[in-house]
Structure 1
Amino acid sequence: MSGQASEGSHISDEEWERFLAEAGQDGSGSAPKEPSARARMVTARLREQEARGEAPAVWRAEPGRPNAQARRTRRRRVWAILGVPLAIVIGLVALKPSLLPGDPFGPGAPDDSAGSTLPAETARPTGPPSEAAPATATLDDPFAGSPAKRYADGAAGIVPPKATAVGAFSADQVAQALRQTRELLVDANLDPVTLRGGRPEQALAVIEPQQTELIDRLDTSLRRPDKDHDPLTMFSRFDPAEVRPAGDVVKTRGRMTFEAGKEGSLAVHADYTFVYPLVKAGDGVSEVARTVVRRVLDVQLPDPDRYRVTPDRISVERYDQEIGNSACDLHDGFLHPSFDSDSPSGPAPSGSAVDPYDRSRTLDPDEDKACGTVTRT
């Protein structure tokens, strides 16, 4: 429902003045007049009747005081005059309660605008999102107290831009590259099979097969993860024996762009943040933790006139990540979120504290990857 009054609720000034004029035509505003001789005679006769106990009931009202019928008529006129503006005020407040001062419905009154989904991100933010109101994440509301509460749900948050022709590439070819970049991101970070530690077949299928070194490295990381072969550099995976999703929604926020690349190529840039709510595996658990993963992906379509390429495949030029709330001294191929109830373990973090929701920062692939802390999840 709109917060504005409809056109039919408006009363013009001319209508209002006419209404007041008509409502006031009861003669009450006229000047008092001297009683006529006949009126004085009637008054005297009535007083004589009253002395004998014969006066009619209406005369028993005090001089100058209206009788009961007159009072009822006047009250109706007063309510008629007050009723229209009062109805208008009540209608406006019903449509928009914020017009009333203070908090008339108590501190728990919801603010629908605060819970609405953010519009799509079209450019790098200028700073981190503001702090959300303090709240504890629960199974019913796993994103409480997090900026991710207003992020889009899952794949709905990965929206490629409208494709246009670039250099030697038609709009259809650009659209295909954008679509495959999206498929890689969805399968690598949102697919339930991948999140449970399965093999992300669709993500691997869109990569240029001639990138044999990359494919071999990813394949090894999925089969035998270690410090030098870590699947978490491209894929989000959790150990189902340790944790399980808190609900069926992963929140997503980011953007995708494209432009002419080097040597006649098409360059696609993707930068997305994924927020995973989790609980410990087992029955009867309710404590919720969140892991935040930001991924930056650069892919290319080389100029087919210059390079031998496989049709309908994309070449991965760069992939980088930043992970918030996961143990950084384990290399088993899984993300390991920390819960508030956990006892401290492992070495103390040596890196700097970062805000995992600050998408205004540029991820530097050469920066120190020391284990640090996050300011919020």
Structure 2
Amino acid sequence: MADRPSPERNSGSGEEPSVPDDVWDKFLKDTEAELAGAPKEPSARARMVTERLRQQDARGESPESWRAGPARPERRRRVWPALGVLLAVAVAVVAVKPSVLPGDPFGTKDHAGPSVSPLPAETVAPTAPPSPADSETPSLARPFAGSPAERWADGAAGIVLPKATPVGTLSKARVEQALRQTRTLLVDANLDPATLRGERPATALGVIEPQQTELLTRLDTALSKPDEKHDPLSMFSRFDPAEIRLVGDVIKTRGRITFKAGEQSSVAVHADYTFVYPVTRAGGSKEVTRTIVRRVLDIQMSDPARYKVTPGKITIRRYDRDVGNSACDVYDGYLHPAFTSDTATGAPPTGPTTDPYDRSKGIEDDRTKGCGTVSRV
């Protein structure tokens, strides 16, 4: 129980009468009831005593319990909302970035695989094949696991053009146009989803010099009626959607484009690129393999002020390809990857075993060595 307040002063004589005992007892009981139960309207006497005690408090004369009592519940009410705000912020941070928690409580690292650093862009021919990668099996979650291509660039981002400079009578702008058209041909022929599922690569065909009628006729026939002498795979990458589907939306790419002065006031562009396609069987199969296609193109763009050429179009002087992991002697216009679970049929391979990732060697022009095998996919 709080101590009784000291005598008060009278406003008329300089001293006020002290609070009567019965009034003080009434005040204490009312105060205890208000703290213990539901709030209620204080009596008139309690209000009078309260007012007197507030005046004493202003002069520093109130009992200690009067000043200290009500402060504790007020602090409790303010602490809980503050803790709630801090907890909400912590939950939001963990939701956005679970890695801030020690360990891996949500299992987010199990499916991401080890982090790999991307290779710098290829500017010159490598001197050796890529080092062996970890012997991991590709999966739907990690289709490039166990492949050197896991460190290669993604799709068109890997086709990096060199800085254009004037060549002979051709301006920097003309050279840059030849480089861009070469890139357009590569992207549409090897990376465009429509081309990959067997549709007509209209954009790629559209950058070719219209005066190359023999080439365009041969390509048109290959796309509409493929056979051994008219194979669209010589220029375009295609999979039969009824048989094969790509895994994910990433195709790994590595190579380089160079240019120099060509004959007849032209710029000669050389492109050498390898594309790695992760695939699975259509129909829900979970087994993943890869087909690797390397393409070499020699392109020319002549000065339209000196020769009768179509401005902005490129002339194809050479187009060659080497394919790793696709059935030999099949001329239906599609790539046919082999899977580990496939049962061997037909005659055994007669050609050499090669590494489809080896970019240190040129593509063989002699195709008489027969159908070989690949050392890795």
Q: TM-score, normalised by structure 1?
A: 0.69
Q: Compute the displacement of 1:265 (Å).
A: 1.7
Kindly report which structure 2 residues correspond to 1:1-377, keeping only aligned pairs within 5 A, or say none: 115-283=116-284, 285-368=285-368, 370-377=370-377
SS class of match (1:267): strand
* Alignment deviations for residues 144-185 of structure 1 (CA, whole Å, 9 cap, x no partner): 000000010000000110100000111111110000000000
Give the count of matched residue pairs: 269
- Cα displacement (A) at 1:308: 0.8
Amino acid at match of 2:232: P
Rounded to whole Å, the distance in 2 between the matches of 1:113 and 1:257 is 34
- Report deviation, 1:303: 3.5
> CA offsets per residue over residues 225-279 of structure 1, 9 Å max, x none?
0000000000000000001011111000000000001232210000000000000
In structure 2, relative to structure 1, the CA distance for the partners of 1:113 and 1:196 (3 Å cut) is closer
Query: 1:177 aligns to what SS in structure 2?
Result: helix
The alpha carbon displacement at 1:109 in A equals 11
Shift of 1:363: 1.3
Tell me what 1:95 maps to: none
In structure 1, how many angstroms separate the alpha carbons of the residues matched to 2:115 and 2:360?
Answer: 21
Deviation of 1:117 after TM superposition, in Å, equals 1.1
8 Å contact kept, 2:170–2:265: no
Alpha-carbon distance, 1:369 to partner: 5.3
Q: Which amino acid aligns with 1:133?
A: D
> 2-side partners of 1:113 and 1:286: how far apart?
21
1:169-215 Cα shifts (integer Å, max 9, x gaps): 11111110000000000000000000000000000000000000000
1:366 Cα deviation from its structure 2 partner: 3.3
Runs (4+) of structure 1 moved beyond 4 Å? none
Mean CA deviation greater in 294-303 or 271-280 = 294-303
Indicate the SS of the match to 2:275: strand
Aligned partner of 1:206: which letter?
V
For 1:37-66, what per-residue CA distance to the aligned partner results, in whole angstroms no more than 9, with x for missing partners? xxxxxxxxxxxxxxxxxxxxxxxxxxxxxx
Alpha-carbon distance between aligned partners in 2 of 1:372 and 1:177, rounded to the nearest angstrom: 36
Q: In 1, distance between residues paired with 2:295 and 2:201?
A: 16
Q: For the Cα contact (< 8 Å) 2:326–2:338, is it kept in 1?
A: yes
Give 1:307 deviation, angstroms: 2.4
Q: CA deviation at 1:329?
A: 1.7
Q: Distance in 1 between matches of 2:349 and 2:201?
A: 31
Supply the distance in 1 between the matched residues of 2:115 and 2:164 (Cα, whole angstroms): 32
Measure, in 1, the Cα distance between the counterparts of 2:150 and 2:267. 34
CA distance in 2, matches of 1:194, 1:174: 27
Specify the code of the residue in structure 1 equivalent to 2:192.
Answer: D
Distance 2:133 2:321 in 1: 24
State the 1:297 CA deviation.
Answer: 0.5
Q: CA deviation at 1:367?
A: 4.4
CA–CA distance in structure 1, aligned partners of residues 299 and 196 of structure 2: 23
Cα drift, residue 348 of structure 1:
1.2
User: Secondary structure of 1:275's partner?
Assistant: strand
Q: State the identity %.
A: 63
Partner amino acid, structure 2, of 1:365: D
Give me the whole-angstrom Cα distance separating, in 2, the residues matched to 1:305 and 1:311.
9
Which residue does the alignment assign to 1:88? none
Larger Rg: 2
Distance between the aligned counterparts of 1:364 and 1:302, measured in 2?
A: 28
- The answer to which of 349-358 and 258-267 deviates more is 258-267
CA distance in 2, matches of 1:329, 1:213: 24
Is the Cα contact below 8 Å between 2:352 and 2:369 reproduced in 1? no
Task: Quote how far apart the aligned CAs of 1:346 are.
Answer: 2.3
Residue 43 of structure 1 is matched in structure 2 by: none
Summarize deviations over 1:267-313 as a string: whole Å, max 9, x none. 00000000000000002x11001000000001001243442100100
d(CA) in 1 for partners of 2:376 and 2:251?
17
Deviation readout 1:326-366 (Å, 9 max, x if unpaired): 00121000000000000001221111111000000011323
Residues 163 and 328 of structure 1, relative CA distance in 2, 3 Å threshold: same
> What SS class does the counterpart of residue 129 from structure 1 fall into?
coil
* Runs (5+) with no aligned partner, structure 1: 1-107
- Structure 2 length normalisation: TM-score? 0.69
Give, in whole Å, the separation in 1 of the partners of 2:114 and 2:298.
Answer: 34
